[in-house]
Amino acid sequence: MGNSVFNKKRRGKILSGRYRSSGKLSLELRVDIDGYRPVNKVSGDFFIARGKTRYVGSFISDIAKKPKIKSGNVIFEGKCKFTWNAQFSKIQVKIQRNPKKSTPRKATIQFLSEDGTLGGKYDCNFESNYFRTVQYEQDVEEGVKPFESYDTSSLEGGGPDRRLSVEVAFAEAGIEFQRMPSNIITSHREWEDEELRNLMKEHFSLLKDKPQWKVWLFVADKQERGSGRRGTMLNGEKRPRQGCVVFHNVIRGSKPVALREQLWTYIHELGHCFNLLHSHQKARADPTIMNRPSALSWMTFPEYYPDGSSEYWKKFTFQFDDEEIIHLRHGFRNDVIMGGNDCIGYKLESFDV
């Protein structure tokens, strides 16, 4: 992770992160109450093991009251929203405050009904500081130099000075990117949309016809339509949001301005793969949400920022906005995972830059 802000803030006795229970019905639990940019939410995904492990459903809960400390545990409560009509819609979570060094930190979550009737209870072992983990395959067209990192102190901008790569930028959002082996793809004069989809099918070694935390990014030179697009998202043959492409003929260069543009483009396109819309087009989501054209986010077009692109870059802290952070960390699994739901259907594929 290098020198990311997320990494620095994780030091010490932080409770937030990902926990997991065992058993036939298991729970991946995400706790987000402290550490870097906490959003005071708990979320989780249920899985059932019957031969193959199968996803069952998800929940998310706000933590309205300040956590209590009792008998060495941090205790907090919340009311949940589920992907199904749940009888036990309240939770109480207990996390060991100071576990022994020889034992992992544990979280226990108890589900309750509105009248206090006890439902399921899950003992979850700490798994990761990250809320979600994605395997990231970046393939490169022969002759194109891919982006590596950008030093935010190189140009005027907001936020602390640090060196950002794709992995570090997503780490700051609480998402772990595990870089997979890269392929060099034979150079092509111009890439058409259908060729790019076929290319992903042929070269994305992790591609499968199912939702999975795996994403492909192709570093290309030029697109056929000649529109000056910096990148585009790609649907798989049957599943949405499984990959994306960036076009270096528009963003190439080694000077700070070019490197900043490359970083923004890579993160922006990968953001679409997580089902994030442009800041000025959030209302296209289903169900609809408010547009946020003035958001200082990776998903905001600098040229569409109300005060102009120069003001955007002066203020931009190189992060997703708060609502996007909640989506990335805690959105219902199939609304976020690559190959899952497409909140606005086929139109998401037209959200290129």
* More confident: 106 or 2: 106
**What pLDDT is recorded for position 228?**
76
Q: What is the mean pLDDT of the chain?
A: 90
The residues, ordered by sequence, that sit 6+ positions from 245 with a Cβ below 8 Å of its Cβ are 191, 196, 217, 218, 220, 223, 231, 232, 234, 269
pLDDT single digits (tens) 177-187: 999 999 999 98
For residue 100, pLDDT beyond 90: no
- Return the closest-CA partner of residue 348 out of 272, 287, 243, 294: 272
> In this predicted structure, which of 26-35, 180-189, 209-218, 280-289 has the lowest mean pLDDT?
280-289
Give the separation between CA 97 and CA 106, rounded to whole angstroms. Answer: 9
Q: Where are the alpha helices (DSSP H) in 274-308?
A: none
pLDDT band at 304 (very low <50, low <70, confident <90, very high): very high
Calculate mean pLDDT across residues 128-133.
Answer: 97
Average pLDDT in the 316-328 region? 97
What's the whole-number mean pLDDT along residues 48-67? 90
* pTM, two decimal places: 0.92
Q: Is the pLDDT of residue 158 over 80?
A: yes
pLDDT of residue 331: 95
Kindly write down the DSSP assignment for every residue of 148-179, as one continuous string.
--EETTSSS-SS---EE-HHHHHHTTTEEEEE
What are the pLDDT digits (tens) for 246-283? 999 999 999 999 999 999 999 999 999 999 999 998 98
Task: State percent of the chain over pLDDT 90.
Answer: 75
Alpha-carbon gap, residue 353 to 232, rounded angstroms: 6
Query: What would the mean pLDDT of 103-128 be, rounded to a whole number?
Result: 92
CA distances from 184 to 58, 106, 135, 232, 234 (A): 38, 43, 18, 19, 19
* Concatenated DSSP letters of 215-252: EEEEEES-BTT-S---EEEE--SSSSS-EEEEEHHHH-
Distance (Å, whole) CA 99 – CA 104: 7
Asked whether the CA dihedral 116, 117, 119, 125 is positive or negative, the reply is positive
* Average of per-residue pLDDT across 45-66: 92
C-alpha torsion angle, residues 78, 83, 89, 92 (rounded to 10): -40
Lowest mean pLDDT among 71-85, 91-105, 251-265: 91-105
Which pLDDT does position 225 carry in this prediction?
A: 64
Domains and CATH numbers, the chain: 5-128 (2.40.128), 132-350 (3.40.390.10)
**pLDDT band of 311, cuts 50, 70, 90:** very high
Average pLDDT value for residue range 85-96: 92
